Amino acid sequence: MSEIRGIYTLWLREVKKFLREKPRLLNAFCQPLLWLFIFGTGLRFSANVAGHNYQEFIFPGLVCQAMLFTAMFLGVSVIWDREFGFLKEILVSPVSRPSIFLGKMLGVSTDVMLQGIIIFPFALLIGASISPFVFLRALPIMLLITVGLTCIGLVFASLMKSFEGFGLVQTFINLPMFFLSGALFPLSNVPQWLVWVSYANPLTYGVDALRTVMMGGAWAPLFPMYVSIGILLAFDAVMFTIGIYAFGRTE
């Protein structure tokens, strides 16, 4: 029972921190607008997406981008907890380290999911027809994307000793994962060597699965849905295992 209570407490703490920070919630609304309407409008005249509305094409990618950036950013909470002594307190508590990692992962994942969900109303502004059924189908895929990305953020944060070091790692991971995921352009338009690099990026499968659900028959997926789901599940399992190991060595 103490393990479950510990997991719940850590989950609730992360969610409350996210909801209390009004600037972060404001950014959750403003950043997608910037990418969707300024960046998306500017590129739609030069990007070749085979007759699709470019803003509708990049919308699933921007949902993934918001979740990626949020997951990595919220990983810094581990460093904050270490700096202010909270991490030391919970590490010496009766709650096991795997449960501590699980609690933080669930809390941050909830925040990341909220960040992704917040973006969906903007789809109406670009004329995308996302029905409640499509939204419900998108949620499990978003969850699979979220868990793996959250684990990455927590793993690197647990290994870093400073905010500066984590910031460098965060940038090094965020930008390549985002730009090599097919979020902003079809992978059919890039050189073959870059396609193979993109196939090694787990976010590529998340973007493709989400785009397939949101655009329906208007989009020819790169991979069968079962392939994308299988790779995302494997990605989550690997990163969760690494996360438990990393937290087991955290001091």
For residues 108 and 93, give the distance between their C-alpha atoms in angstroms, rounded to a whole number: 21
For residues 67 and 200, give the distance between their C-alpha atoms in angstroms, rounded to a whole number: 19
Interval 66-96: pLDDT, tens: 899 889 888 888 888 887 777 777 777 778 8
How far is C-alpha 230 from the geometric centre of its chain's CA atoms? 17
Is 97 within 8 Å of 244 (Cβ atoms)? yes
Q: Ramachandran region of residue 53, left (φ > 0), alpha (ψ -120 to 50) or beta? A: beta
| 3-state SS record for 93-110 | CCCCHHHHHHHHHHHHHH
Q: Give the chain's domain count.
A: 1
Is 55 within 8 Å of 44 (Cβ atoms)? yes
Buried b (16+ CB within 10 A) or exposed e, 93-108: eebbbbbbbbbbbbbb
What are the distances in angstroms from CA 11 to CA 102, 131, 164? Answer: 9, 30, 26
Torsion of CA 233, 218, 51, 62, to 10 degrees: -40
Least confident of 42-46, 49-53, 112-116, 144-148: 42-46
SS3 (DSSP) at 132? helix
Q: For a pLDDT cut of 90, what percent of the chain falls above it?
A: 31
Residue 94 backbone dihedrals phi, psi, to 5 degrees: -65, -15
Running DSSP on this structure, what letter comes out for residue 222? S
Interval 196-251: pLDDT, tens: 999 999 999 999 999 999 887 667 788 999 999 999 999 999 999 999 998 877 76
Give me the chain's average pLDDT, please: 83
For residues 148 and 6, give the distance between their C-alpha atoms in angstroms, rounded to a whole number: 22
- Domain with 165, as residue range(s), is 2-43+51-248
